[in-house]
Amino acid sequence: MSSGNTTDAGPDLTDWLVGHKTMRAEYGRLAEVAATVDPAARERAEAVEAHVAFMMRYLRHYHEPENQDIWPALRMADPTVAPLLDRLEAEHAVIDLLAEQIGDTSRSLAQRAPILRELQAVLHDHLAQEERQTVPLMRRHLTHAWFARTHERVMERWDRDDLPYLLGISITYATRAEADRLVHGLPRRLRLRWRLSMCHAFDRRMRQVYGP
């Protein structure tokens, strides 16, 4: 976990930081669509609901490894960071409550739009704090191999049906260099599937949700 080794390259945080960009932007975009989509436009409304549900799973898969793996590893490596991590975990609980409300399909999309906006605002401050305070700790205490194994476990938890949207939404907010790194880091078979079919499934979903 903690390298204690100045030759270790340190963790590759590309996926993690691209996730921050995605969450900063996508919940706000969804709020605008949710507020205006016509429920009578059934196909589009269903696509928006599907994307909202996906983005709630995205958030869950993002926070679980922080709470279960990354923060405990940092606590063990440096017990003095406990107050910071306690605060971040408390913020996760607030965010999880908002996500639960957003996932409540007994409410209309229009009723959930303000909660999506609130989620985006809360995440903006939360993610900035993570980048400012936990990124240096992660680079100092976590090895490349440890973080790669943690990322592999996260990927294994994803439903295969979500993979086109997971890869697509990440690439949407990545720089060219980050996108290349993400795609080249995929297993060869998955990389081929992305190029042949998965990217098209993602593009169809985005056109349904946000328009051409």
* Rounded-to-integer distance, Cα 36 and Cα 9, Å: 47
> Which parts of the chain sit beneath pLDDT 50?
2-6
pLDDT value at position 5? 42
Query: What are the tens digits of pLDDT across the range 162-204?
Result: 999 999 999 999 999 999 999 988 889 999 999 999 999 999 9
* Rounded-to-integer distance, Cα 93 and Cα 108, Å: 24
Query: What are the tens digits of pLDDT across the range 183-192?
Result: 988 889 999 9
* Rounded-to-integer distance, Cα 5 and Cα 143, Å: 9
* Rounded-to-integer distance, Cα 152 and Cα 114, Å: 34
Place of tokens 């997971």: 166
Predicted model pTM? 0.92
Place of tokens 């910071």: 84
pLDDT value at position 9? 75
Both tokens of 83, joined, read 């107050």
- Cβ atoms of 165 and 54 within 8 Å: the answer is yes
Domains in the chain and their CATH numbers?
Answer: 14-210 (1.20.120.520)
Residues near 46 by beta carbon (within 8 Å), at least 6 away in sequence: none
* Rounded-to-integer distance, Cα 120 and Cα 199, Å: 26
pLDDT value at position 1? 52
